[in-house]
Chain A
Amino acid sequence: MTTANTIQDFTDQEYKWGFITEVDEDRIPKGLNEDVVRLISSKKEEPEFMLQWRLKAYRHWVSLERSQSEPKWAHIKYPPIDYQNIVYYSAPKQKPGRTSLDEVDPEILKAYEKLGISLGEQKRLSGVAVDAVFDSVSVATTFKEKLAEKGVIFCSFSEAVRKHPALIEKYLGSVVPYTDNFFATLNAAVFSDGSFVYVPKGVRCPMELSTYFRINAADTGQFERTLIIAEEGASVSYLEGCTAPVRDENQLHAAVVELVALDYAQIKYSTVQNWYPGDKQGKGGIYNFVTKRGKCLGKNSKISWTQVETGSAITWKYPSCILIGDNSIGEFYSVALTNNYQQADTGTKMIHIGKNTRSTVVAKGISAGFGQNTYRGQVKIMKGATGARNYTQCDSLLIGDKCGAHTFPYIEVRNGSAQMEHEASTSKVGEDQIFYLRQRGLSAEEAVSMIINGFCKQVFRELPMEFAVEAQKLLSVSLKGAWGKDGHAGNPQSTREYQSSGDSEGD
C-alpha cells in the first residue's frame, strides 16, 4: 500500500514557526511564591496598588490550589501541572529606558522577520500597528506616535501601568476579576506584560492594532494580560497572533483579555492562534488556558470576537460577552481545528442583562487525526433582558474516523420575551467530495483545503482582509498529514482509537 508512504510525506511538513532564537535572557529561578510575585512587580517598576492586587491574587490562588480547584470539567486530558517547575519571568536583556527600535536585540528583530512580522520602519505592514511580545515582555510597539495624534494609546501593559495608572486602576480586573477562575487568578498574580489599548471618545482607531505573542525561552510560562477600552462612540479592531518553538515539554500559556465598550463603542477582537501543537505523537505543545471576556457596558455598544485556533496541544478558552447596555451586541465567530493528538474545549458565554441585547455565535470545529474538539457554549438571558435574541450555530467537521467532535450548549432563559435559535450539525469530509474535486483536476490536498475553507467561510469573512488569507493558509498547513495524497484519511501507524461522536447536554 502506498497510503503509509504518502501520509509520511505529508507529515514531514513540520510546524514551520518552531525555531529558537538565541538571546541573552533575564530569567528568574523556577518556582512560585510571594517573593516571585514581588520580584516581577519590582522588575516592572509598578506602583503599590499593582503589587497589592497581585498579592491578593496570589494568596487567592494558593487557596485555590490547596483546595484543588483547577478546573476539571472541560473535555480535555493532561497530566497534573507542576506549578513550581515553571519559570514565571524571562525577558530578553535590553538597555533600560529603551526608546527606539534600534535598541532592540537584532536577533529578536530577525526572529519576528522570520515570522513574517516586520518591526522595521520601512517594511511595516501598512495600516497595522504591532506590539511585539517576546516571552514575558513587550519588545517593540510600532506606529505609537501616529496613533497618539488621534489620542489612541497603544502600548505594552507595563508601560501603561507606569504612564496611565489611573486607567489601569479603574479597569484592571473590572471584567475578569482576580478571583474569576484558577488560571485567571494565576495570571493576575504573575502576568508580566501584554498590550494596552485606549481609544478616546468619538475616535475611530485609524488602523488595525495587533499584538504578536512569541514564546521563546524553555520552561517558561507566558502570562500576558490585554486590556482594551473603547470610550463612548469609539471603535477599534485588534488582532493577535501567536507562535512558539518546537519543544518536547508542554508549556503553559495562561492569558487574560479584558474588553470594555462604553456607549455606542465597538471592539472587534480577532485571534489567529498558532502555538506549537506538539508532534504527531502528541508530545510537547502549548497548554493554552485563556480567559477572554468583554463587557458591553454602554448602550448600543458592540463586542465581536473572531478566533481561528489551529495551534496548541490543548486549547481551553471561552471568549465571552456580558451585554449590560441596552441594545448592545455580542458576537463570537470561531474556527477550532484539532489534528494529531490536539485537544480543544472552546466556545463562548453570552450573558444578556440589558434590554434588546442581541448575540450571534457561529462555531466551526474541525477534527482530524486523533484530535478531540469540543464546543461548549452558554447563553444566559437574565430577568431584565426583555427582547433579547440569540442565534447559535455550531458545526463540526470530522476528517477520518479516529477523531471526536462534542457539543455542549447550555441555554438559560429567565425572560419569556427572549428569542433563541440553536442550530447544530456534524458532518464528515467524505471520500465522495474529495473524489469529485480530484476528478476535476485538484490534488487531494487542494481538495481537502477547499472543503475546509468552504466550511469555515462564515468565520473567515469576519477577519480583517489581510488576515483572512493568512488564516486560510494556516488551516491547510495545520491539516497536513490529516489526509494522504491518495485521498484517504487516517493514520495507519497508530493503534489508539477514539470514536467519532456528537453528544450534547443542556439544562
Chain B
Amino acid sequence: MAMLEIRNLHVKIENREILKGLNLKVNAGEVHSIMGPNGSGKSTLAQVLARRESYLVTEGEVLLDGKDLLAMKPEDAACEGVFMAFQYPIEIAGISNAYFLRAALNAVRKYHGRKEMDAMDFLPFYKGKMKLLEVDESFMTRSVNEGFSGGEKKRNEILQMALLEPKLAILDETDSGLDIDALRIVANGVNAMRSPDRATIVITHYQRLLDYIVPDFVHVLVDGRIVKSGGKELALTLEEQGYVGVETEARALAVAV
C-alpha cells in the first residue's frame, strides 16, 4: 500500500476549479517533485494535503496509510505525520521559537499517547537539530519568525520538520527567496531527513533545488492535472525546454479525452 494515494482529486477555491482530477501515489522512502507553471495548482495541492479548509474538495479521495486524509482537521493531519513547510512562514509575536516548537512537538506526542517533553529534555533535543541547520542559538529565544530574514524563515521551517519528524513532508516552494548558501543548508537538512519510513513531496518552479535534493520521481502539473511523470532527468528536460512543450502535450491529451 502506498503511503499517500490521491485519486481523481478535484478542488475548488472561490468557485474556480484548480485541481481537475489529480492522481498520485507516493511510497514511503520516496522523494517526489512536483513542477509546473504558475497557477497550475501546485500550492493548492500542498494546502489541501495540509487540510486548509478554505479549499473545497468536490471530488476524489486522498488516503494516508489507508486513512481518509480529507476527513481530518489540520491538527489531526499534522499529528498523523503530515508536515508542510510553508512558502510564506507566518510570524507569531511574543512567542519564542522554543516554546512554540515544544508545544507543537508535545501536541504530536500527546496525540500518540506518548509522554510530553519538558523543557529540560527538549533542550538537548533541539540543540542537535539546530546544528544540522546551522542556526544560531538565538533562534530559539526569538519570537516565531518575527524579524527573521527570508532565509532564516525557511531554515526555521526545516528545523521544525527535523524536530517533528513527519511521515509525509511537503515542501511548498521552499527554494523561493533563498540565496545559494541558504539553499544548500536547507537541502542538507532535508537530505538528512531522508529515510525509508518517510516520504517527501518537493514543490518547486525550478530545477535548481533538485540539484541538491535529488528526487526519485518528477511530475509535471499543468492546469490541475499531472500531465507527465518521469525520473529526475525529466526536471532537466523541463529546464531546457520550459513548460510549453508539456502544456501543448497536455492540451492534445485533453482534447483526445
| A-to-B contact residues, CB < 8 Å | 430-433, 435-444, 446, 450-451, 453-458, 485-488
Contact = CB atoms under 8 A, between A and B. Distances in A.
B75 A436 contact: no
B93 interface: yes
A486 B73 contact: yes
Contacts of A437: 92, 100, 104
Nearest to A433: B90
B92 A440 contact: no
A440 B104 contact: yes
23 contacts: A432-B90, A433-B90, A433-B92, A435-B74, A436-B89, A436-B90, A436-B92, A439-B50, A439-B51, A439-B78, A439-B84, A439-B86, A440-B104, A441-B78, A441-B79, A442-B104, A443-B107, A446-B107, A450-B100, A453-B94, A453-B95, A454-B143, A486-B53
Nearest to A461: B94
Nearest to A436: B90
A440 B73 CA distance: 12
B131 interface: no
A453 B93 CA distance: 9
Contacts of A488: 53
Given A436-B86, A439-B74, A456 B104 contact: no
A454 B104 contact: no
B107 A454 contact: no
Contacts of A485: 73
Contact of B94 (A441, A457, A486): A457
Interface of B: 50-54, 73-75, 77-79, 83-84, 86, 89-90, 92-95, 100, 103-105, 107-108, 111, 143, 160, 164
A450 B54 CA distance: 22
A490 to B, nearest CB: 14
B164 A440 contact: yes
Contacts of A486: 53, 73
Contacts of B94: 453-458
B100 A441 contact: no
Contacts of A450: 92, 95, 100, 103
A433 B74 CA distance: 13
A443 B111 CA distance: 11
A440 B143 CA distance: 16
A433 B86 CA distance: 12
Contact of B75 (A432, A442, A458): A442
- Which 8 residue pairs of A and B lie closest in terms of their CB atoms, listed nearest first? A454-B94, A441-B107, A457-B94, A440-B104, A454-B95, A438-B74, A436-B90, A441-B78
Nearest to B89: A436
Nearest to B78: A441
Contacts of B78: 438-441
A316 B51 CA distance: 43
A441 B95 contact: no
Contacts of B100: 437, 440, 450
Given A432-B90, A436-B90, A442 B107 contact: yes
A446 B52 contact: no
Nearest to B52: A435
A430 B100 CA distance: 17
Contact of A441 (B53, B54, B89, B104): B104
B111 A440 contact: no
Nearest to A451: B92
Contacts of B77: 439
Given A435-B52, A446-B103, A458-B94, 18 more contacts: A433-B90, A436-B89, A437-B100, A438-B73, A439-B50, A440-B78, A440-B104, A441-B78, A441-B79, A442-B103, A442-B104, A446-B107, A450-B92, A453-B95, A457-B95, A486-B53, A487-B74, A488-B53
A435 to B, nearest CB: 6
A498 B254 CA distance: 49
A79 B226 CA distance: 64
A441 B92 contact: no
Nearest to B90: A436
A438 B90 CA distance: 12
A352 B112 CA distance: 58
A179 B236 CA distance: 84
Contacts of A436: 86, 89-90, 92
A438 B75 contact: yes
B95 A440 contact: no
A433 B91 CA distance: 7
